Amino acid sequence: KKIKNIAYRKNCTAKRKTIFAAYLNGEYKIFQNEYLVGTLQEYEQFVNQRFIDPQASKLKQAAKDCVEQLQKKLSTNKT
């Protein structure tokens, strides 16, 4: 059975971070590697505190892209 509530991007930045977006309990949650960071807004704050550009921008964009992909994926599955 396929997992349908996840979207991800591998090897984000030179530090090879994997970003996941998952739809859990009615919210989109962001994971970086194996750690749950929180909502997209919480993830952006996390990144701003720990990374500088261009890595920070790439990580935040990857998370946004994952959420957008997951939103499309979930809306397609409802029809």
Instruction: List the single range of 12-21, 29-38, 64-73 with lowest mean pLDDT.
Output: 12-21
The strand pair at 35-38 and 6-12 is best described as: unpaired
Residue 79 has pLDDT above 70, yes or no: no
Between the two ends of the chain, the Cα-to-Cα distance in Å is 19
pLDDT for the residue 76? 78
**Kind plus residue range of the DSSP H or E element containing 10:** strand 6-12
Q: In which band, very low, low, confident or very high, does the pLDDT at 5 lie, cut at 50, 70 and 90?
A: confident
Q: In which band, very low, low, confident or very high, does the pLDDT at 16 lie, cut at 50, 70 and 90?
A: confident
Residue 1 has pLDDT above 70, yes or no: no
Q: Which of 2, 63, 1 is nearest to 33 (CA)?
A: 63
